[in-house]
Structure 1
Amino acid sequence: MSKSSSRRTAIKNIVAGTAAFGATGLLSSLEASAEKLEKTHQLKLKGTINHSVCRWCYQDIPLEDLCVAVRKIGFSAIDLVGPKDWPTLKNHDIYSSMCNGAEISLTKGWNHTEYHPTLIQSYTEHIGLVADAGYKNLICFSGNREGMDDETGLKNCVTGLQEIIGLAEKKGVIIQMELLNSKINHKDQMCDNTKWGIELVKRLGSENFKLLYDIYHMQIDEGDVIRTITDNHQYFGHYHTGGVPGRNEIDETQELYYPAIMRGIAATGYKGFVAQEFIPSRPDKLKSLEQGVIICDI
């Protein structure tokens, strides 16, 4: 039985046990109050951090249900959602805080010129879609090295990205390249350190190209997370979380202390989104998501 159905039955029983006069009005009033209470049952978030969550971590939960859960927890953004699912987000007044769908894959990216024709066509199309939908961020990837040296990779990325960055500037879309660890999860990934990523941002020289600083990934490959964020925040346009080791819950079971990291991010004046990107290990995945939001809500 659905919650709304069981609630209505309970209210009818209450009405049946009361005086008959005004029963219909009483039923409507009680139902309205119950619905209002149900809708307003959410965390009282502080507003310092704009929270989001990565869709792929909850693939076994229908997007409609995830949207409802997100609203109930008290925030209103979901990361890594493509055009076909934007109507669902809009139906729930959920923002697509990091759009995807333009990339070929995590391994085939901008550092190899043979992928440029496909990427340029796809990103040109998606930049328009993102802008028309009222969104701002679009993810991209460097791709694997496959024996390529850093300098060649930088030059190739600049050559390709310059073909789309003008349109991104015109449309108000920020292309964000994610920093991924190459030690555990993404062997051979080129954009696996902040030094290389920052050099790419500098060479492109556009406010519409930033790095997605993934805290989980960079803890594995570099560490020194708070200092890195403090010293280089102008190059970072988005943040992802994740527990180290294991990429699970971000609580006391792992080595990072996220409240301090969030305070470091907030101190830079950052006003964008921080998306939870851990894989819940516990049966109640949405409870783990709520816990992660609370931990980061400084």
Structure 2
Amino acid sequence: LSVDIASWNTFWNYAALANTSVDTFYDMDTYAASYADFESALIYANSTLPCSKIGVALITQNVNTGSPLSYEEVEERFTLVESYGIRRIAIWDMPLPAYWWNRTSSFLNISLGGIPPLQVQSYTLSPTEFDANQPANLNLNLTVKGGLPPYLYELLLDGQMFFATTAPEPNLTLTVPLGVLVVGNHTFSVIVTDQEDTTILTLNKTIVVNPDPQITLFTANITNNLTVDQSVLLQVRVIGGTPPYTYTWYVNGQKLPTSNTSSKIVIRNLDAGENQVSVVIEDSAGYTIITKLFTIDVVTPQTIITYSPTPSLSRSPSSD
């Protein structure tokens, strides 16, 4: 049996109530706007009622201003309740901010006799592959469970801590700007520490920084003195960067409709004279490079006219 009581009504004689068979008395006096009033009400309840029968009423917002209590204010009240060994609370009202759920969960863990072990629930990092001279901006999403909030999150790059933040929530979502990293592989991890100084370390994530792509445009065909009816096969070779690549081919500044993801192209119907070919290559990290102009000379075939004179007719002398 539980009963709500309040000292402002003389009907509720706390000393007399202490001797009843009621299991829990929820003290309405602790629905207080200020911490001082909350503390005073809790001291009075604890001095007149057995601790095992006290239930503390907690309010989510300042009744005088209508503003939600801050995490620090909530933490302060929970800490006082726990210092008295009180194991029952009532909260007014819904919906509860996220930090209320986390702090309430911690309170219940203590009330039930233990705190679940701190552990990683999920951990993602993306993207993890970049080109040299490209700023590495990572999206981190880490969720832990158990332990006692708030949590300290320490971010490590190659084993060295470069950023830290404290949050009451068990979920950390951040955009992490690492700047330009040197070419090669790097490790990323997070150390999480709860209020009880329990520490866990996430698995290492590997960040790959590729060298800038190098390109070579070549052909096995003869590219001088081609005729307009001849075709030419061109191919580009890419080393470095972050595959896959896309290729956009241009002839004399005009994009070819056959541009695609192929590193080879057959070009036909070139104009007579010098034709300038280039290709724009973009890797999956967004790095773009353009080849030097490749010249193909095309000549107009000469038309050869052959003249054959009509043979003259001659009369053979007749024999008499």
TM-score normalized with structure 2 length: 0.27
TM-score normalized with structure 1 length: 0.28
Which protein has greater RCO, CA pairs closer than 8 Å, 6+ apart?
1
Larger Rg, first or second structure (1 or 2): 2
- Structure having the higher helix fraction is 1
